[in-house]
Amino acid sequence: MLDVLRGKTAFPPPVWMMRQAGRYLPEYRETRKRAGSFLDLCYNPDLAVEVTLQPIRRFGFDASILFSDILVVPHALGRDLHFEEGRGPLMTPLEVAEIDGLETERFHVNLSPIYETVRRLRADLPDETTLIGFCGAPWTVATYMIAGHGTPDQAPARLFAYRHPQAMRRLLKLLADQSAAYLIRQIDAGADVVQIFDSWSGVLDGAGFQASCVEPVAEIVRQVHAAHPDVPVVAFPKGAGSRYDGYRAATGAAALGLDWTVPLAQARCLQKDGAVQGNLDPQRLVAGGEALSEGIEAILDALGDGPLVFNLGHGITPETPIAHVEAMISQVRSARK
């Protein structure tokens, strides 16, 4: 996988899934019960290592991604956070006057259990299994901090940026700096690759995308590469559409995560400049059968001659049958040109 992320072609391609440790696995659900709460699971190295390893034991994916959540960054900055069943993450909405008071002094102390999880994972994983660290992109993390919860179109954060542009710039810069430091510590602890998830980049206009998505991610990549120049950074600006074009060059990311709406013709063009990752519709994996097989075949046919990490176009959903995951892995790994 590391060779592919650095621009080489391998066929069949390496394969893993976003959210591969999660509620579709019975062993995850059992471990989650033991944890008490979702955040307790994220901050308990014993349990976080266990759930990260579960899909590797079951499926033998080529990469393992740290089990955590993008919102541990604002939590480590002193913001309250809890997860409610059926509603997701809940926080007290951030006010303009609170930005400069975010607590950076204990940031790494608060995240020390996660660094311990990474260290243990690198020791426990097979040598050939790539370990992926990650963070949320500043814009996506900011949307939750400002609204206090997920929203369909992130209107609260967009309005905040229009009304308080200087405050938004300060918030995004602070999140970029802290997120870069967080990724660097993950690499120091043993992560081979890091990924930046910008789940809400698709809701912005052109100027907003440049200021809130491109520039903060470019700053993270710059800082990570200053500390670890050989570690690939994967950037996933979900919903970016035509703005994927030029995003790699503008941010410095080694590889692009593609959501399932990206046309394969566009993906082929993006692949000329480096690795792409994705982009099977997660609902094809739920459906299984012909829909799954056709989706896999189309991606392999279109992108198999270049650097490709086979993945979903977003995270696996809880209702996905395990047998469908097994079928996907089998088809990818048995593929022949």
Q: Say if residue 187's pLDDT is above 90.
A: yes
* Arithmetic mean of pLDDT, 315-331: 98
Residue among 69, 177, 245, 273 flagged as catalytic? 69
pTM above 0.95, yes or no: yes
Q: Tens of pLDDT along 2-39? A: 999 999 999 999 999 999 999 999 999 999 999 989 99
Contact call for residues 275 and 267 (beta carbons, < 8 A): no
Give residue 245's pLDDT.
Answer: 97
What's the pLDDT at 190?
Answer: 98
Which one is catalytic: 24, 43, 115, 144?
144
337 pLDDT band, cuts 50/70/90, is confident
Q: Does the annotation mark 144 as catalytic?
A: yes
- Can you say how many angstroms the Cα of residue 14 is from the centroid of all Cα atoms in its chain? 17
23 is annotated as an active-site residue: yes
Residue 79 designated active-site: no
Residue 194: pLDDT over 90: yes
Q: What is the pLDDT of residues 218-253, one digit of tens each?
A: 999 999 999 999 999 999 999 999 999 999 999 999
Mean pLDDT over all residues of the chain? 97
Note the pLDDT of residue 86: 80
Q: Is 69 a catalytic residue?
A: yes
Domain extents for the chain?
2-334
Kindly report the three-state secondary structure assignment for every residue of the chain: CHHHHCCCCCCCCCECCCCCCCCCCHHHHHHHHHHCCHHHHHHCHHHHHHHHHHHHHHHCCCEEECCCCCCHHHHHCCCCCEEECCCEEECCCCCHHHHHHCCCCCHHHHCHHHHHHHHHHHHHCCCCCEEEEEEECHHHHHHHHHHCCCCCCCHHHHHHHHHCHHHHHHHHHHHHHHHHHHHHHHHHHCCCEEEEEECCHHHCCHHHHHHHHHHHHHHHHHHHHHHCCCCCEEEEECCCHHHHCCHHHHHCCCEEECCCCCCHHHHHHHHCCCEEEEEECHHHHHHCHHHHHHHHHHHHHHHCCCCEEEEECCCCCCCCCHHHHHHHHHHHHHCCC
pLDDT at residue 193 is higher than 90: yes
The architecture (CATH level 2) of 2-334 comes to Alpha-Beta Barrel (3.20)
At residue 268, the pLDDT reads 98
The verdict on whether 80 is a catalytic residue reads: no
Residue 85 confidence (pLDDT): 82
Banded model confidence at residue 293, pLDDT cuts 50, 70, 90: very high
Average pLDDT for 285-297: 98
- Annotated catalytic residue within 24, 28, 32, 182: 32
| Catalytic residue, candidates 23, 119, 122, 333 | 23
